């Protein structure tokens, strides 16, 4: 008699989540020759529609625009330069959106296209605006289909990979689960094409993922992120309280059904408020404050405000109200926060204890309420 199957809490949460973000990679939507694979796209839509029919709201983050645009433009390999990628995305996104509209139409489901640039999440007002759009689309019963707005994103402000975009969107829409679908059926301790590579069924925190080899990328050459970006995105969502399942797109039905496939990531942190998540993970930092060891301990371990006395150096150009990174003496980012001084004011103040500060400057440099520790 075989042992009873124990379904972890994380898998149960994925299976029962009322709102789910599903991300699918380019390699899972395209044929070996390039171009969209209608059969695979329909199979994915079957699984999403089935989850919708069971009462969940689904936001689909779909890659594939660049891959879908190659064949129509007569390009045989994924281009490396941004301009050609953008041209391909411009053509391919249209094909992709059309294919989803038709495919979801088989279930009388309406899709809404949402193309995001990094600006839409790094600026607080844009973040709120995107939240409202998603909320209304879902309330109206539509399935939002999301991609990066590749055609206009510049090299500096690109998300770069849709795994991270999906983790940010999962928090933005208040999803209770994130499902990452790829051409590989789970996370392995090394690339599954390596003989002897073993499947990992559950990951709790970075320590569990420490020995995993993610150096190789997919065989198709169409994906951008590889396993490293999926792990980073899964950790990001899990650290913000969202359970994650990484599974094969070919297993989408099970991944979105009983969630008994792939690798589950157990939430490792409390669900952060939208503001704190934005501050910690999405906002663009304009500068850095280098902290001594005592200040790092106060900010990270004791959750205190950052005072001028613990700052060793100031880097970058910023104004009071901007987001800055707080780094330790080794340069590791330990927290992010909203700074209460302009960069030009700080050099005269750092290292001084409060009684020695001019009265008009006697306040926290970053208040504890405006600070998110990143090192645990
Ligand atoms: N440790 C690992 N576990 C699983 N897959 C891995 C690992 N290391 C590398 N890979 C590779 O990562 C690929 C998935 O990344 P990618 O092709 O970018 O996917 P997608 O297009 O779905 O974003 C897999 O096909 C696999 O070959
Ligand atoms: N935005 C790009 C995809 C970027 C990306 O992350 O791709 P993938 O690694 O296949 O999920 C596109 O639509 O082609």
Annotated binding site for substrate: 63, 150, 162
Alpha carbons 125 and 30: distance in angstroms, whole number: 36
238 and 172 assigned to the same domain: yes
Ligand 2 center from residue 23 Cα (angstroms): 10
Please tell me whether residues 211 and 90 are part of one structural domain.
yes
Q: Is 201 helix (H, G, I), strand (E, B) or coil?
A: coil
Structure confidence at residue 206 (pLDDT) = 78
Same domain, 271 and 312: no
The complex scores an ipTM of 0.95
| Residue 4 resides in a domain | no
The structural domain count of the chain equals 2
Give a yes or no: residue 223 inside a domain: yes
**What's the rounded Cα separation, in Å, for the pair 83 and 216?**
26
Measured between alpha carbons, how far is 88 from 102 in angstroms, rounded to an integer?
21
Q: Which of 214, 246, 276 is at the close of a domain?
A: 276
Note whether 30 and 172 are same-domain residues. yes
Q: What is the pLDDT of residues 157-186, one digit of tens each?
A: 677 689 999 999 999 999 999 999 999 999
> Order of strands across the sheet with 287-291?
311-316, 287-291, 323-327, 333-338, 371-373
Q: Say whether both 83 and 220 belong to one domain.
A: yes
CA distance 153 to 134: 21
Determine, yes or no, domain membership for 239: yes
pLDDT at 207: 76
Tell whether 238 and 100 lie within a shared domain. Answer: yes
Q: Are residues 192 and 261 in the same domain?
A: yes
Q: How far is the CA of 59 from the centre of ligand 2 (A)?
A: 16
In a domain, residue 236? The reply is yes
Residues 142 and 63 in one domain: yes
- Tell me the CATH number at 196: 3.40.1160.10
Check residue 225 and give its pLDDT: 64
Instruction: Give the pLDDT confidence score for residue 284 in this predicted structure.
Output: 81
* Residue 146 and residue 72 share a domain: yes
pLDDT at 276: 83
In a shared domain, residues 348 and 226 = no
**Residues placed in the known binding site for ATP:** 23, 182-183, 224-230
Return the residue matching tokens 């139409």: 105
126 and 208 part of one domain = yes
Q: What's 310's domain CATH number?
A: 2.30.130.10
DSSP letter for each residue of 215-234? -S--TTS--SSHHHHHHHHH
* CB-based contact 189:197 (threshold 8 Å): yes
Predicted local distance difference test score (pLDDT) of residue 371: 93
> Which positions of the chain have pLDDT values less than 50?
1-5
Residues 101 and 192 in one domain: yes
- pLDDT single digits (tens) 294-347: 999 999 999 999 999 999 999 999 999 889 999 999 999 999 999 999 999 999
Domain extent, residue 312, equals 285-373
Of 183, 185, 229, 248, the one to substitute when testing ligand 1's pocket (max ligand atoms within 8 A of C-beta) is 183
């Amino acid at each position: 008699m075989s042992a009873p199957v124990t379904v972890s809490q994380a898998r149960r949460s994925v299976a029962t989540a009322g709102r789910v973000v599903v991300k699918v990679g380019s390699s899972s939507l395209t044929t070996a020759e390039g171009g969209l694979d209608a059969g695979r796209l329909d199979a994915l839509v079957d699984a999403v529609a089935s989850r919708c029919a069971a009462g969940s709201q689904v936001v689909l983050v779909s890659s594939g625009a660049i891959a879908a645009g190659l064949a129509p433009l007569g390009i045989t390999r994924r281009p490396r330069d941004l301009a050609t990628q953008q041209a391909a995305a411009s053509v391919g996104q249209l094909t992709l959106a059309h294919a989803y509209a038709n495919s979801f139409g088989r279930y009388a489901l309406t899709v809404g296209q949402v193309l995001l640039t990094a600006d839409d999440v790094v600026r607080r007002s844009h973040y709120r605006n995107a939240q409202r759009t998603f909320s209304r689309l879902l309330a109206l019963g539509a399935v939002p289909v999301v991609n990066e707005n590749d055609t206009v994103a510049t090299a500096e402000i690109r998300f770069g990979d849709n795994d991270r975009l999906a983790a940010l969107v999962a928090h933005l829409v208040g999803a209770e689960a994130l499902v990452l679908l790829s051409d590989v059926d789970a996370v392995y301790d090394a690339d599954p094409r390596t003989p002897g590579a073993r499947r990992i069924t559950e990951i709790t925190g970075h320590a569990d993922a420490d020995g995993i080899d993610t150096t190789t990328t997919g065989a198709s050459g169409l994906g951008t992120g590889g396993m490293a970006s999926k792990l980073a995105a899964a950790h990001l969502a899990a650290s913000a309280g969202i359970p994650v399942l990484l599974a094969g797109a070919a297993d989408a039905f099970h991944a979105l059904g009983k969630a008994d496939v792939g690798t589950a990531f157990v939430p490792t942190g409390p669900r952060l408020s939208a503001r704190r998540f934005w501050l910690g993970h999405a906002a663009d930092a304009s500068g850095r404050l280098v902290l001594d060891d005592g200040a790092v301990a106060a900010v990270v371990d004791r959750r205190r405000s950052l005072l001028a006395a613990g700052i060793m150096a100031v880097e970058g150009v910023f104004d009071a109200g901007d987001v800055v990174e707080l780094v330790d003496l080794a340069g590791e980012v330990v927290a992010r926060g909203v700074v209460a001084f302009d960069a030009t004011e700080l050099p005269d103040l750092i290292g001084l204890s409060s009684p020695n500060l001019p009265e008009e400057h006697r306040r926290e440099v970053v208040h504890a309420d405006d600070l998110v520790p990143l090192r645990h």
